[in-house]
């Protein structure tokens, strides 16, 4: 075998003729080897490699695999590499704040099974943006792991406290975009229903945020009756407006006035009956299952219902107006997968 290996190395150096002689010696079939060219061998190798990778034919499944691979890659890279990626996603900075376009699938805080998160690389990012003696950046607010878009970081603790107070006192105007199933009725309005976290009793018990209204319908006469407020519930207010509608879906502009956990997702799914596309958690209450999509939506996405679980959450923090001295208007474009879905569903909106 050592001699054969040496012969093979020599033949590679001699070119195509040497390759044919090597293949003849290793295969044991002179007739078959004589007809085999180097190009054919390379093509066979490429084909066999492609079969091992098993690239999905389904576009949605392929898209989510790419997003999942990106999310996993962000967990594997060195913190310096992650900080460099966030530096490339910087959309605005001044002497007080730094604003990034948060990538999909990257958690803000650490936890079980999380190696990399935004909070952990803030000291490295600060040095990359300024110098080696820069003070670590500070988180001012948070976005869910699957949510993309505008995220504000402060250069010092004093600014961070100032920005957090602006968020707490509802002086920051936040605008989100979401692709949802269905058409909200009315097309523009305000959802003002408290939200509380509850345990869902099913074959697989889990916790979800849900509505805790201060009223109910009387079964006898159908009148609205005020009830006692749930002490654990938090006040939640979301303003919404439909920007476009097509393919049994809508593009909504959302302004959360309050900042309750999963507020937008809960108000859309349970308040308006229009869950966000790819929100498999809040498309059902009593079970954990992939989102059920309308036939027209499946057709436009070129997707089978059995593959619906591969759809990512289509929620993007699009714009943020920060009254820090002079009002700062910050805008982030939706990620590529969000834009592709808009195009497939023919959800066209006027350009700003």
Along the 352 residues of the chain, how does pLDDT read in single tens digits?
444 444 444 434 444 444 334 334 444 444 444 445 555 545 554 554 444 445 666 666 677 677 777 777 777 888 899 999 999 999 999 999 999 999 998 999 988 888 889 999 999 999 999 888 889 999 999 999 999 999 999 999 999 999 999 999 999 999 999 999 999 999 999 999 999 999 888 777 788 999 999 888 888 887 888 888 888 999 999 999 999 999 999 999 999 999 999 999 999 999 999 999 999 999 988 877 889 999 999 999 998 898 888 899 999 999 999 999 889 999 999 999 999 999 999 998 764 4
- Whether the domain at 59-169 and the domain at 170-345 fall into the same CATH topology: yes
Listed by start position, the domains of the chain span 59-169, 170-345
Positive or negative: CA dihedral 49, 53, 56, 62: negative
CA–CA distance, 216 with 224 (Å, rounded to integer): 6
Q: For this structure, is 120 an active site residue?
A: no
Q: Which residue from 320, 332, 316 is spatially nearest to 167, judged by alpha carbons?
A: 320
Burial of 111 (0-12, 13-18, 19+ CB in 10 A): exposed
| Cβ atoms 266, 209 nearer than 8 A | yes
User: What are the Cα distances from residue 268, in Å, to 44, 115, 228, 238?
Assistant: 51, 32, 24, 9
From the candidates 58, 144, 161, 348, which is the catalytic residue? 144
φ/ψ (deg, to 5) at 216: -150, 165
Distance (Å, rounded) from C-alpha 158 to C-alpha 138? 10
**59-169 has which fold?**
Pseudouridine synthase (3.30.2350)
Q: Find out whether 132 and 172 touch, Cβ atoms under 8 Å.
A: no
Class of domain 170-345: alpha beta
Of 307, 249, 305, 311, residue with least CA distance to 279: 311
Q: What is the pLDDT of residue 310?
A: 84
* DSSP annotation string for 135-195: PPPEE-S---TT-EEEEEEESSHHHHHHHHHHHHTT-SEEEEEEEEES--SSSEEEEE--E
Cβ(285)–Cβ(201) below 8 Å:
no
């Amino acid at each position: 075998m050592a001699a054969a290996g040496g012969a093979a190395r020599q033949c590679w150096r001699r070119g195509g003729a040497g390759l044919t002689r090597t293949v003849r010696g290793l295969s044991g079939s002179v007739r078959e080897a004589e007809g085999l060219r180097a190009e054919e061998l390379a093509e066979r190798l490429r084909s066999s490699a492609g079969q091992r990778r098993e690239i999905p034919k389904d576009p949605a499944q392929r898209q989510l695999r790419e997003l999942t691979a990106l999310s996993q890659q962000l967990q594997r890279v060195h913190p310096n590499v992650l900080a460099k990626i966030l530096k490339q996603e910087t959309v605005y900075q001044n002497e007080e704040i730094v604003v990034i376009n948060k990538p999909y699938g990257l958690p803000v805080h650490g936890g079980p099974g999380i190696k990399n998160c935004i909070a952990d690389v803030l000291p490295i990012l600060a040095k990359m943006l300024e110098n080696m003696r820069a003070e670590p950046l500070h988180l001012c607010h948070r976005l869910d792991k699957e949510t993309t878009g505008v995220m504000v970081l402060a250069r010092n603790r004093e600014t961070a406290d100032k920005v957090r107070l602006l968020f707490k006192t509802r002086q920051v105007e936040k605008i989100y975009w979401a692709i949802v199933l269905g058409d909200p009725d009315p097309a523009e309005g305000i959802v003002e229903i408290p939200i509380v976290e509850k345990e869902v009793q099913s074959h697989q018990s889990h916790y979800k945020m849900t509505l805790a209204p201060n009223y109910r319908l009387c079964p006898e006469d159908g009148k609205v009756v005020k009830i006692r407020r749930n002490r654990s519930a938090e006040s939640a207010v979301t303003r919404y407006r439909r920007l476009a509608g097509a393919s049994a879906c809508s593009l909504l502009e959302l302004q959360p006035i309050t900042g309750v956990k999963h507020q937008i997702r809960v108000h859309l799914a349970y308040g308006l009956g229009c869950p966000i596309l790819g929100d498999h958690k809040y498309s059902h209450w009593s079970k954990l299952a992939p989102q059920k999509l309308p036939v027209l939506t499946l057709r436009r996405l070129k997707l089978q219902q059995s593959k619906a679980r591969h759809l990512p959450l289509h929620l993007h923090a699009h714009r943020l107006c920060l009254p820090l001295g002079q009002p700062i208007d910050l805008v982030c474009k939706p990620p590529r997968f969000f834009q592709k879905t808009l195009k497939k569903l023919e959800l066209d909106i006027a350009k700003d």
